[in-house]
Structure 1
């Protein structure tokens, strides 16, 4: 079986469980991870005022961030018009990494907690520390800076917390200066489903397809895909013999929503209510089956790495319902 992770660096040697220890960990310095309802987020007025010095991005990466932002502000309103209204939040809570071909993430708390594939943060756990800070864009185009606070390369999951965010257009400049550290900044988020899906459940996937065609022998050929793409499909179950807690080689979950390089970290949501039942991560290029991280792995990861006071009902079957999201405010 051949594995393809849905990022540009799919050809890198797959990591083995014993290559690094510990397998799953909160990062050094993650003691600064305050519960989401206490997080303080620095606000900045506009992405147009960002510089290589203020962001730490190269000139090329900064220009790419601004380009993606412009394109999102054009394409997202069109995508929303094509979605059923009860699924609007699935799009609005999805983020794209600002770097080239870097993947997708989604928000799971209105206070700015994000989840994605670990290989979107750092392909190599030994290089994790230098890759902890990331710039991302919500589907609306709102720019945020996030810090990785938990990383598990066996489950292929990472948790990030937004530490700074672009001021929303409705706020005034005086609010920016007087409320630079804003504890109440709110973000669109997705609830985690209360149970794992049944086979053939209809799903929607929101992801960030790369702009370079990696299926042709010519280099530099563009795909012309939108920055963010909505696709539909079905949950096809767990691969035979797979361990749902081990996605280091290939995701245990199977689905048939359309994806491309850059979709890693994309939410897989129930089409009936938009709740999260998995995350796209990879595919099997021998069968064409898309693969992902199963609901069970996401819930267990959040139980291990979320604040114990805000993870609610894990054993009671009410995890992440719309009424009681897995990360409570």
Structure 2
């Protein structure tokens, strides 16, 4: 795991309009950000109606989409703005990794934030970012489960399917999928013989929630507790089984970050469990 922790955990206020001069994104990417924000402002992600009656937190509120096209999904782990995603959503290789790069993301509410990478683990396929600029100082978040899910446990996945059909015979065919989608499925166990800490080629966790290009980094949530038990990362092209980073890798990754000895502001937490 590679890390570069900040010297300050302060969040710069993001006041006024989020213009291209603020994001410094290419004009095409900034237009995509505005399009995604408009959709998120207009629509609400549909969740199973029994979640609220059972007192299970809605995982959609803590889910974020990257501003650029087909860029992936992330999940907030702390009210302080700690974000978890796949390492390949941030950089495909160590050579491509830039600690100074500012990533723009949107919460399900449509709120825009900027974040920088502080931990990157290619083997586990996990990356941690912290929000550096936002219009608020506290954020909706999800708790990490205290244990791995049981076989066939009901799961929820909230992710950002890409807008272009990459399986079409000609380029440019649009999928017309919503910006953020919740799907249901079950935990199908871990891949036989695969180290749960090694998800570099394909995720060790198996599940059957619906996903598409752009779902990488999407939270896999225990539908009975609302807690995070995995992160979607890939799929098996031979079987169609969806793959992800299992709880064992998430827990170890976050424990290593938490145990790094960083001096944190009072009350500040990397994640909640």
Counterpart among 49, 68, 77 of residue 108 in structure 1: 77
2:24 matched residue in structure 1:
56
In the alignment, is the contact (CA less than 8 A) between 1:75 and 1:226 conserved in 2? no
Shift of 1:218: 1.8
Match of 2:60 in 1: 91
1:83 deviates by: 6.9
Question: Which of the numbers 188, 192, 196 marks the counterpart of 2:148?
Answer: 196
Task: Decide which structure has the larger Cα Rg and report it.
Answer: 1
Aligned to 1:139: 108
Provide the residue aligned with 2:38 in structure 1: 70
Instruction: For 1:131 and 1:228, locate their aligned partners in 2 and report how far apart those are by CA, in whole Å.
Output: 27
Alignment deviations for residues 111-130 of structure 1 (CA, whole Å, 9 cap, x no partner)? 10000000000112101016
Contact 2:144 2:272 in 1 (8 A): no
Tell me the residue number matched to 1:171: none
Q: 2:125 aligns with which of 149, 152, 156?
A: 156
**CA RMSD between the two structures:** 2.0
> Hey, what does 2:2 align to over in structure 1?
25
Report the CA distance between 1:75 and its aligned residue: 2.0
- 8 Å CA contact 2:58–2:226 kept in 1: the answer is yes
Kindly indicate whether the alpha-carbon contact (under 8 Å) linking 1:136 and 1:144 is maintained by their aligned counterparts in 2.
Answer: yes
Structure 1 residue 97 displacement after superposition: 0.2
More helix by share: 1
Q: 5+ unaligned residues in a row in structure 1: which ranges?
A: 1-23, 168-184, 311-324
1:318 corresponds to: none
Offset at residue 81 of structure 1 (A): 7.8
Judge conservation of contact 2:99–2:118 (CA < 8 Å) in 1: no
Other structure's SS at 1:84 match: helix
Runs of 4+ aligned residues of structure 1 deviating over 4 Å after TM superposition are 80-83, 307-310
How far off its partner does 1:54 sit? 2.1
1:211 match = 163
Q: Using the alignment, how far apart are the partners of 2:180 and 2:25 within structure 1?
A: 22
**Post-superposition CA distance 1:188-228 (Å, at most 9, x none):** 00000010011100000000000111121021111111100
TM-score (norm 1): 0.76
Return closer, same or farther for 1:139/1:270 CA change in 2, 3 Å cut-off: same
Deviation of 1:91 after TM superposition, in Å, equals 0.4
Superimposed CA distance per residue, residues 8-54 of structure 1 (whole angstroms, 9 cap, x where no aligned partner):
xxxxxxxxxxxxxxxx1113xx242x5xxxx32111224xx223332
- CA separation of 1:152 and 1:308: change in aligned 2, threshold 3 A: closer
Secondary structure of the residue aligned to 2:95 is: helix
Distance 2:121 2:152 in 1: 28
In the alignment, the residues of structure 1 paired with residue 100 and residue 174 of structure 2 have an alpha-carbon distance, to the nearest angstrom, of 27
Structure 2 CA distance, aligned partners of 1:328 and 1:254? 24
- Residue 326 of structure 1 and its aligned partner are, at CA, apart by 6.6
SS state at 1:68 partner: helix
**Cα deviation code 1:250-291 (max 9, x no counterpart):** 000000000000000000000011100000000001000000
Structural mapping, 1:7-22, within 5 Å: none
CA distance in 1, matches of 2:124, 2:188: 19
Give yes or no for contact 1:191–1:326 (8 Å, CA) kept in 2. no
How high is the TM-score relative to the length of structure 2? 0.91
Aligned partner of 1:269 among 208, 221, 241: 221
Native 8 Å contact 1:148 1:158 kept in 2: yes
- Relative to structure 1, is the Cα distance of residues 130 and 58 closer, same or farther in structure 2, using a 3 angstrom cutoff? farther
Q: Residues 51, 190 of structure 1: CA spacing in aligned structure 2 closer, same or farther, 3 A cutoff?
A: same
